[in-house]
Structure 1
Amino acid sequence: MTFGKRLTTALDTRGSLCVGIDPHAGLLDAWGLGRDADGLARFADICVRAFADTAAVVKPQSAFFEVHGSAGIAVLERTVAAVRDAGAMLLLDVKRGDIGSTMAAYAQAYLDPSSTLASDAITVSPYLGVGSLQPVFDLVAEHGAGAFVLAATSNPEGPQFQHAVTATGATVAQTVVDEIAAVNAGADPLGSLGVVAGATIGAGAPRFDGLNGPILAPGVGAQGGTADDVRRVFGASLRDVIPSVSREVLRHGPDVAILRGAVERLVAEYAFLRS
């Protein structure tokens, strides 16, 4: 079964929400955990118990595991497996982007089922050209995996590049969306390639009609984005939008029940996306 089909089922069953596992130093402190691999493991375990059987998509941020070296990677491997075992779609936030054999190695590391980090999907960067991501697209097709390509991000530095106009007259962000749409053409019910587009982007936002793929939408909750912003930015493509939250949920930790409640409230808030 393709990632697009599995994701559609997850969103229909669990609601439209992606919840991050972002164990940065400040949150480890706030949760009363050590800034070491043991604290990292306890943080990840709490998150898995709180929402991996509730949220449709769970997104560990690889960097916060990598900073602890090999011990952190071991925790990430266990977390990836635990999230998938709990039934959530596992989106590993790695934002890799390179060319040739290097990109192929990244794809194999995260999308090959034989890898200890095998994920349902990963985030990737197209700024060496969307074509440079072909090794990822190949493994997506081969293994029924998915990928989310950065298009119009919510960080304030993004528009300087993403809103720049190419020789065709389209913005860089629109070009990314259009090239992903071409790969997704004909997929049913949803393509396995998505884009990342912030819920707080303003003028210059790309059009998403015809994408036929999921839209990961960071920027809601603690970053200031609202349900009204989601409606404004994504319009007729709302059914394909997956709001992505991290701080908005994790600030309620480390109590498992309170974390779970925060996720359930947000799922209810964005229930209109599946209507």
Structure 2
Amino acid sequence: MEVYEVGPRDGLQNESAVVPVEVKAEPGAAAGRRGAAHRRASRASCTRAGCRRRPTPSSLLDLLGPFDGDLLAGVRAPVLVPNARGLERALARGAREVAVFVSATETFAQRNLGRSRADALAMAADVVGPARERGLDVRGYVSMCFGDPWEGDVDVAAVVDTVVALAEQGCTRLSLGDTIGVATPGQVVALLDALDAAGLGRDRLAVHFHDTYGQALSNTLVALQQGVTTVDASAGGLGGCPFAMSATGNLATEDLVWRLHGLGIDTGVDLPALVATSAWLGERIGRAPASRAVTALT
């Protein structure tokens, strides 16, 4: 079971206030102190535009790297890169894993990425191929897998086509994003079955749920029962979607770990240390963590 921390990048990018890079650096660095199984933390984006077409501090990458230094010793720290130039920046800092980002829907691709789905996939290919040739793992994020704020319910076939395209490019892991938090357990099973029928087994997939309707943990449990073993989560439940204002943050890492430990699954995560990090982060950004476990344990 792999807990994949997305708070430092995905979670903190949705904060309205400017978050100092030193604060952004701490949660992911702390991941390396929480246990052997909790070794992936999505830390930075090699782009000035970011996923939201909004400026992000480029100095974060400099603060975090080099990626084989003491700060990130033993931690796989994927860097989100939008294009070939971003890949070169990541490689220059010693990144050992990168990620690309596309949408399963046309409208979100246009609004969020500023290009069509096809163009976004083509740009991803410019990253995936060279990265794989250099021996890097590449994670493919697919947003809007279950619902879109403009298009409504998303056609499963469109999601499958997008995920398969990234897999054929060479992505080593595909993360299925419920970007606005509308997925239900039945939809999760249907999508996993459709991907399996298309030749993509659970071993290549990760799930990335938001908790708008309070279903993130339920959806995650169903995905685990279906054989998915990698789950994205955000410390303190940080995150959201700027294009769906009712959308809440990602599944809280602490709530996920509490559930997994209750099921007898050994995550290797030091839950008290994780809670302390999220409480510290909440103080720095000026709002309490959304995690129920953090509330209960502090």
Identify the TM-score tier after normalising by the shorter chain.
0.5 to 0.7
2-structure distance, mates of 1:104, 1:87 = 26
**Cα displacement (A) at 1:142:** 1.6
2:5 and 2:41 in contact (8 A); partners too: yes
Amino acid at match of 1:142: E
Query: Which of 227, 233, 257 matches 1:244?
Result: 233
Q: How does 1:19-98 map to 2 (within 5 A)?
A: 19-21=6-8, 22-24=11-13, 26=15, 35=18, 40-54=20-34, 55-60=38-43, 62=45, 63=50, 72-80=57-65, 81=67, 85-94=72-81, 96=82
2-structure distance, mates of 1:157, 1:41 = 31
2-structure distance, mates of 1:223, 1:117 = 39
2:147 and 2:182 in contact (8 A); partners too: no
1:208 and 1:237 in contact (8 A); partners too: no
1-structure distance, mates of 2:224, 2:162 = 16
**Cα displacement (A) at 1:265:** 6.0
Corresponding position: 1:123 with 2:100: yes
**Cα displacement (A) at 1:84:** 6.6
2-structure distance, mates of 1:92, 1:133 = 13
2-structure distance, mates of 1:162, 1:122 = 26
Match of 2:191 in 1: 205
Corresponding position: 1:134 with 2:125: yes
Amino acid at match of 1:90: A
**Cα displacement (A) at 1:228:** 2.3
1:57 and 1:90 in contact (8 A); partners too: yes
**Cα displacement (A) at 1:194:** 1.9
CA distance 1:173–1:245, shift in 2 (3 Å): same
**Cα displacement (A) at 1:223:** 7.1
Query: Which of 222, 228, 243 matches 1:232?
Result: 222
2:21 and 2:59 in contact (8 A); partners too: no
2-structure distance, mates of 1:45, 1:182 = 33
Q: Secondary structure at the match of 2:151?
A: helix
| Sequence identity (%) | 11
2-structure distance, mates of 1:52, 1:119 = 16
Amino acid at match of 2:73: A
Deviations 1:81-128 (A, max 9, x none): 36872322212345x3xxxxxx43333333xx3x23735121322622
1-structure distance, mates of 2:126, 2:147 = 30
Q: Secondary structure at the match of 1:218?
A: strand
**Cα displacement (A) at 1:215:** 3.0
1:91 and 1:123 in contact (8 A); partners too: no
Match of 1:32 in 2: none
**Cα displacement (A) at 1:49:** 4.6
2:32 and 2:73 in contact (8 A); partners too: yes
2-structure distance, mates of 1:142, 1:236 = 32
1-structure distance, mates of 2:154, 2:182 = 14
**Cα displacement (A) at 1:244:** 2.4
CA distance 1:61–1:50, shift in 2 (3 Å): same
**Cα displacement (A) at 1:43:** 0.7
TM-score by length of 1: 0.59
Give structure 1 stretches of 5+ with no counterpart. Answer: 1-10, 29-34, 97-102, 165-169, 185-190, 251-261
By relative contact order (CA 8 Å, sep 6+), the higher-ranking structure is 1
Amino acid at match of 1:74: S
Query: What is the count of residue pairs matched by the alignment?
Result: 218
